[in-house]
Chains A and B, each alone.
Chain A
Amino acid sequence: MTEAATTPSLDTRTEAPARNQWWDVWDQFKTHKGAVMGACFFIFIVLAVYVGPWIWSIDPTYIDIRARNQGSSFAHPFGTDQLGRDMLARMMAGGQTSISVGLTAMGLALFLGTLVGVLAGYFKRIDGLLMRTTDLFLALPLLPLLLVMVMLFRQPLSASFGPETGIFILIVIAIGITSWMPTARIVRGDVLALKEREFVLAARSIGTRPGRMILRHVLPNVMSPIMVSATLGIATAIITESALSFLGLGFPPDFPTWGRLLFDATDFMQQHPQRVMWPGLAISLTVLAVNYMGDGLRDALDPRIRGL
């Protein structure tokens, strides 16, 4: 062992605090105004739907038939629906479902995509098979198949897990297994490039086993594309879930999600157009915020841009 930096007083750079890569990423991310705003808005929405019900404690399923179809007021800031249920409380409850579905489905898609991508990139023997499978999945008509899957497995899953949990599991799995392919392709490409690098050769030369190699050397280095796919994945998952609910094939009617609220409100579009706006705006702004966040993250994680 050699003793490094024996004369620290001569090194002027020691004044600066110790930094790692993630501080640089954060500095670059901060310069992207849209991304910072997007991140703030996303955090705000998440807090609003998860913490909000503690403050705004009206039960979203409480029916007050005499107060139906009201506009905005102090008692009901977002108005009430055709059964007199408070829209703000329903929006919060719906947001919880929509965002949970988005995050969980994204997690599943990311896990599958990374697994397939790393395996295909690292093990040459199964590369062809896995990539053909990916191509095959990309050629599937996804929205029709999602609809078919929801139709087929709704009954059995509702029966075994209860109507809400059953549909939640169904929708998360359906979205997850139909949206992992882009991640898999990107990760595979990066892993293929990483495998040619010297540090991988060095690690292999001291006898690192494949499992250890993937966890210790490959995965940390493909984190950036995975994180960018994660943000985009949340956006697609939220949109897909809302689309399913909008087509009447999502969650049961008494269980609000943003898509379901939008779908229910379209029947009263003529008389109460504002009721369509809240869920629609919530979906669009959340997705917009997440997309901007992804944009900033991509720039921040790209070392060619970060240095500037």
Chain B
Amino acid sequence: MLTYTIRRLFTAIPTLIFISLIIFLLLDMAPGDPTASLPLTIPPEVREQIRQSLGMGEPVHIRYLLWLKQMVWSEPMFYLSQSVSWIDTPDAARLISWQTRAPVLDTVFERIPQTLMVVGLAYVVGVLIALPIGVISAYRQYSVFDQAGTFVSMIGFSIPPFFSGVLMIILFTVMMPNDSFWWFPSIYDTTLVVDSWENFGKQVRQMVLPVMVLALQTTAQISRFMRASMLDNLNQDYVRTARAKGMTESVVVLKHVLRNSMIPVITVIALGIPAIFGGAIITEQIFKVNGIGQLLIVSIQGSDVPMVQTLTFIFAVLIVFFNLIADILYGILDPRIRYD
């Protein structure tokens, strides 16, 4: 298992390097000029110096290697030196955003908690709803519950988040009377500090709508998968054996079948985490959550190349990382699948 893990880790690194190269080269073609947003009164030679100072004068491969060194060495070392006293602060310059002139990663780290709070919670809620639905629809296949579950998940697949989100806003913000319990704010207030029960209530209320929108999609996918996986296992011989031995139905379903059906489902859950971050770009835009998805949109509109580069790279790292996790989990959970 350990050698398998290490081997997978070593294939993940070239993948990441290659992806970062693709992202870098794609963005290198960007028409945006970092000095475009500066005042027009700056003389051209000074403008050229500013461009030089931002590292625009070097050839592509040098810039790529510098950027890579910055991403994997300088920046992590900077954060390490801040948290641990015995590492000196590296003297390399930080990766600076063209728009805000602030270090890119500081801005990203400011935004991540909002994204994690909304997206992470939505994913947990979605999975927790999806699993029982999947189990029951498989156990009572073709029942009314199963048909309803199929229909709801079809809807979850088909309604894109930019419509379900807007629909929720119309239902719960526009149409609902303001003093009703069922009225929810459509704009996420990041400045809210949770220091009392009242503010905690406010925080919960403003998270309801985005979490519902994201959870609907997760539920649709995971519950279908859970159902299929349960159905595969329910007809196996070992289930008949367990029943023949006189085990109660709940033990058969919840212990024997569920545990075996969870193996592929868990890997799907792991694989879905990065996709959720991507999908959250739209949801964050609708509900004005200022997470990393919204940051990406703003930076793309402002041609902020270092920021877009870093964010896309972070998304890529998430995908590769969770693929790795899914593969390793599969090996741990299912002893038949160990590749060594």
Q: Are B160 and A139 in contact (CB under 8 A)?
A: no
For B278, the chain A residues whose CB sits under 8 A away are: 141-144
Is B23 in contact with chain A by the CB < 8 A criterion?
Answer: yes
Q: Are B160 and A291 in contact (CB under 8 A)?
A: no
Shortest distance in angstroms between A74's beta carbon and chain B's nearest beta carbon? Answer: 25
For B303, the chain A residues whose CB sits under 8 A away are: 151
Shortest distance in angstroms between A232's beta carbon and chain B's nearest beta carbon? Answer: 10
User: How many contacting A-B pairs (Cβ < 8 A)?
Assistant: 114
For A193, the chain B residues whose CB sits under 8 A away are: none
A231 to B296, CA, bound (A): 31
Task: Identify the closest chain B residue to A282 (Cβ).
Answer: B163
For B308, the chain A residues whose CB sits under 8 A away are: 144, 148
Is A276 in contact with chain B by the CB < 8 A criterion?
Answer: yes
Interface residues in B288-324 (C-beta closer than 8 Å to A): 296-297, 300-301, 303, 308, 311-312, 315-316, 318-320, 323
A266 to B187, CA, bound (A): 13
Q: Are A284 and B160 in contact (CB under 8 A)?
A: yes
Shortest distance in angstroms between B271's beta carbon and chain A's nearest beta carbon? Answer: 10
For B286, the chain A residues whose CB sits under 8 A away are: 266
For B31, the chain A residues whose CB sits under 8 A away are: 152, 155
Contact with A along B155-186 (1 / 0, CB 8 A): 10111101100110110001100000000000
A149 to B23, CA, bound (A): 10
Q: Are A144 and B315 in contact (CB under 8 A)?
A: yes
Contact with A along B1-40 (1 / 0, CB 8 A): 0000000000000010011001100110111000000000
Shortest distance in angstroms between A105's beta carbon and chain B's nearest beta carbon? Answer: 16
Q: Are A291 and B157 in contact (CB under 8 A)?
A: yes
Q: Are B166 and A269 in contact (CB under 8 A)?
A: yes
Q: Are A143 and B279 in contact (CB under 8 A)?
A: yes
A145 to B282, CA, bound (A): 14
Shortest distance in angstroms between A283's beta carbon and chain B's nearest beta carbon? Answer: 6
How many B residues touch A, CB cutoff 8 Å? 45
Contact with A along B79-115 (1 / 0, CB 8 A): 0000000000000000000000000000000000000
For A246, the chain B residues whose CB sits under 8 A away are: 162, 282, 285
Is A1 in contact with chain B by the CB < 8 A criterion?
Answer: no
Is A136 in contact with chain B by the CB < 8 A criterion?
Answer: yes
For B22, the chain A residues whose CB sits under 8 A away are: 140
Which of B23, B166, B170, B279 is in CB contact (< 8 Å) with A145? B23
A binding-site residues for B, Cβ under 8 Å: 135-136, 139-145, 147-149, 151-152, 155, 235, 239, 242-243, 246-249, 259, 262-263, 266, 269-270, 273, 276, 280, 283-285, 287-288, 291-292
Of the A-B pairs whose beta carbons lie under 8 Å apart in the complex, a sample of 6, sorted by A's number, is A136-B19, A266-B166, A273-B174, A280-B166, A285-B158, A288-B154
